[in-house]
């Protein structure tokens, strides 16, 4: 190739330089003998797949490590690369015991670059990227759910306030107070910079979280909180607040807080290393059929309770009203 005047030739990479570049990028190399359907791989590839070193490995041997949900898709994708032009990238999961890794296989399709019936490509461990993507999707789902909850709460609080208000001015004032209480509860579990590290008492936290839902007029005091005196750390406060908000939102929409005659009692008991909070509703609409809890909110709080509080939620749909038992580890509650 003739170079234009003043143009320098591209550098010629030596084998050692290429090896260092491959190691720096954590790239694993493979070659595929298309007629025999066998792979030759470098040492990094065998480590990535959790396999002992061998001169050749068949696709079926690799398939035993591919996640069952991805296995057919990966086989079809690799077969399709023989006829699809251009670069390809296939992301899939492999299982190494209890560990799940995400692998990206990359190469050229339509037999581009094939040498003696052998195609070449690379594997890259993309587990970190996939976990970040899943975390972003989860966060987006949680944010969407919380926004919907806030809208439902605003509507519920408006109806709640309208039942006892004697004038538009009184309703406006009371509704503003309730919404302000929601903000106070948020500040309690999401402190401003410089205010972190201040644990709240369990009873105070629950009372502040539920203050927006209590009546201030004829039915004042229908939410009663009587729990053990203990501190709640910042991380546990966020998880606990999520659970309380979810239960309160459902109660405002369907339970005891949806009608004027309803009442809510929250008590606690100590059981060894655990503390149990009992959320007991009475006076609400009649419970005809036990609902199936499969919505996003139910899954969200169940995950928070098990993951952050080391506990579990139990639902008892009694004739008098819903009773929820929230079991938590005391050491997790203080964290």
DSSP secondary structure letters along 265-312: EEEEEEETTEEEEEEEEESSS---SPPP--SHHHHHHHHHHHHHSS-E
**DSSP state letter for 66:** B
How confident is residue 173, by pLDDT bands cut at 50, 70 and 90? confident
Higher pLDDT, 159 or 47: 47
Strand partners, 274: 271, 329
- Residue 159 to residue 214: CA distance in whole angstroms: 13
Sign of CA dihedral 113, 119, 120, 125: positive
pLDDT digits over 281-301, tens only? 998 888 777 766 666 567 767
How confident is residue 113, by pLDDT bands cut at 50, 70 and 90? low
- Residue 332 to residue 311: CA distance in whole angstroms: 9
Here the tokens at position 182 are 């929601």
Proportion of the chain above pLDDT 70, given as a percent: 73
In this predicted structure, the answer to whether residue 174 has a pLDDT above a threshold of 80 is: no
User: Domains in the chain, start-ordered, CATH in brackets?
Assistant: 15-125 (3.30.450.20), 131-333 (3.30.565.10)
Higher pLDDT, 238 or 280: 280
* pLDDT for res 151: 64
On average, the pLDDT of the chain sits at 78
In this predicted structure, the answer to whether residue 77 has a pLDDT above a threshold of 50 is: yes
- Residue 69 to residue 92: CA distance in whole angstroms: 9
- Rounded to two decimals, what is the model's pTM? 0.49
Higher pLDDT, 239 or 112: 239
What is the secondary structure of 201-225 as a DSSP string? EHHHHHHHHHGGGSBSSTTBT-EEE
- Residue 263 to residue 322: CA distance in whole angstroms: 11
Mean pLDDT of all residues in 249-268: 87
* pLDDT for res 184: 61
Sign of CA dihedral 109, 115, 119, 120: negative
Residue recorded with tokens 């084998």? 15
Mean pLDDT of all residues in 60-65: 85
Higher pLDDT, 295 or 239: 239
């Amino acid at each position: 190739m003739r170079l234009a005047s003043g143009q320098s030739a591209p550098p010629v990479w030596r084998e050692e330089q290429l090896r260092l570049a491959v190691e720096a990028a954590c790239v694993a190399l493979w070659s595929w003998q298309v007629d025999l359907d066998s792979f030759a791989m470098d040492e990094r590839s065998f480590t990535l797949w959790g396999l002992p070193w061998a001169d050749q490995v068949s696709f079926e041997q690799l398939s035993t490590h591919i996640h069952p949900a991805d296995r057919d898709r990966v086989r079809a994708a690799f077969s399709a690369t023989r006829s699809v032009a251009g670069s390809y990238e296939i992301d899939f999961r492999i299982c190494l015991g209890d560990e799940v890794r995400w692998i990206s296989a990359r190469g050229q399709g339509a037999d581009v670059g094939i040498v003696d019936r052998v195609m070449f490509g690379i594997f890259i461990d993309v587990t970190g990227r996939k976990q970040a993507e899943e975390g972003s999707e989860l966060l987006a789902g949680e944010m969407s759910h919380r926004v919907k909850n806030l809208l439902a709460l605003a509507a519920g609080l408006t109806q709640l306030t309208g039942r006892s208000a004697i004038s538009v001015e009184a309703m406006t004032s009371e509704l503003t107070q309730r919404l302000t209480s929601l903000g106070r509860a948020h500040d309690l579990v999401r402190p401003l910079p410089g205010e972190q590290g201040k644990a709240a008492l369990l009873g105070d936290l629950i009372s502040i979280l539920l203050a927006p839902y209590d009546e201030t007029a004829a039915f004042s005091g229908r939410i009663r909180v009587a729990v053990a005196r203990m501190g709640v750390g910042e991380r546990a406060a966020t998880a606990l607040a999520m659970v309380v908000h979810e239960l309160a939102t459902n109660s405002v929409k369907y339970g005891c807080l949806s009608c004027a005659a309803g009442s809510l009692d929250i008590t606690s008991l100590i059981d060894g290393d655990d503390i149990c909070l009992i959320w007991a509703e009475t006076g609400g609409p009649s419970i005809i059929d036990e609902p199936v809890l499969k919505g996003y909110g139910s899954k969200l709080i169940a995950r928070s309770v098990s993951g952050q509080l080391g506990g579990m939620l139990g639902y008892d749909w009694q004739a008098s009203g819903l009773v929820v038992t929230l079991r938590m580890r005391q050491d997790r509650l203080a964290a």
